Amino acid sequence: MKNMGFSFLKLVNPQCGIDDQAFRMATHGAAILENIRIFSTLREAISKSSYVFGTTARNRRCRSFVSPDRMAKKILKLAKTDKISIIFGPEDMGLSNDELELCNEVVTIPTTEDALSINISHSVLIICYEIFCTAIENRKTEETVTLATSEEKENMYDHMRSTLLDIGFLNPQNPEIFLGRFRRILTRAGMTGEDVKLIRGVFRQLKWYISRTKQKRC
């Protein structure tokens, strides 16, 4: 949980104590143990949650399953306004059918047919990892990107044209043929103002180097 940025853990009728050994094993996750909430029933533990995901590795009657990645996408949408719980059953038996009836949806981690069961600690990490990765991807797509203005891009192309003519890369009779190819490549990239500055910096340095080389020859 700590590795993937989660902090709120509930335990239902735990068969072990949160003792010194638990804190030693937790390493950097001690704060999670300090804030654990313990309940006597599952129903009580999820009472404040608006949407509940249960986890299982076995085929269950009358239930369809969602994959961890689909679950993660749904959680990120719901978590903006609602409290979500993810339930993991005991190591030996998992969640019972009655317990899964308390869940809105059931999640299963795909495995090979001859090894369906996954250790609970691994299951928790996989589920948390899927949510963590999906959250990162969402943040990337939600970032506001300001594209370069037409003026910034045209000034950049003027800079490129001048420099590429200086080194003989462009045909002075019709420089736009090859320069047009650069335009199409960079247009597909959707350049920002910072991108334009970077490219112009490269060509500025190249132009300086050309000028310096010519001076040495003289």
pLDDT in tens, 165-189: 888 888 888 888 888 888 888 877 7
pTM of the full predicted structure? Answer: 0.64
Distance CA 76, CA 72 (A): 6
Using CB atoms within 10 Å of the CB of residue 142, give its burial: 0 to 12 exposed, 13 to 18 middle, 19+ buried: exposed
pLDDT exceeding 90 applies to what percent of the chain? 38
Dihedral angle, C-alpha 151, 153, 156, 160, nearest 10 °: -130
pLDDT under 70: residue ranges of the chain? 58-63, 141-145, 217-218
Radius of gyration for the chain, computed over Cα atoms and rounded to the nearest angstrom: 29
Residue 60: its pLDDT value, please?
57
Residue 151: its pLDDT value, please?
85
Residue 54: its pLDDT value, please?
93
Distance CA 198, CA 189 (A): 14
The per-residue pLDDT of the chain, averaged, comes to: 87
Digit-coded pLDDT (tens) for 114-141: 887 888 999 999 999 999 999 988 877 6
Looking at the chain, the number of H-run helices and the number of E-run strands are: 9, 6
Spell out the residues 6+ positions from residue 2 whose beta carbon is closer than 8 angstroms to its own. Answer: 26, 28, 29, 31, 32
Residue 153: how many CA atoms within 13 Å on its side-chain side?
16
Residue 145: its pLDDT value, please?
63
CB atoms near residue 6 (< 10 Å):
16
Residue 44: its pLDDT value, please?
93
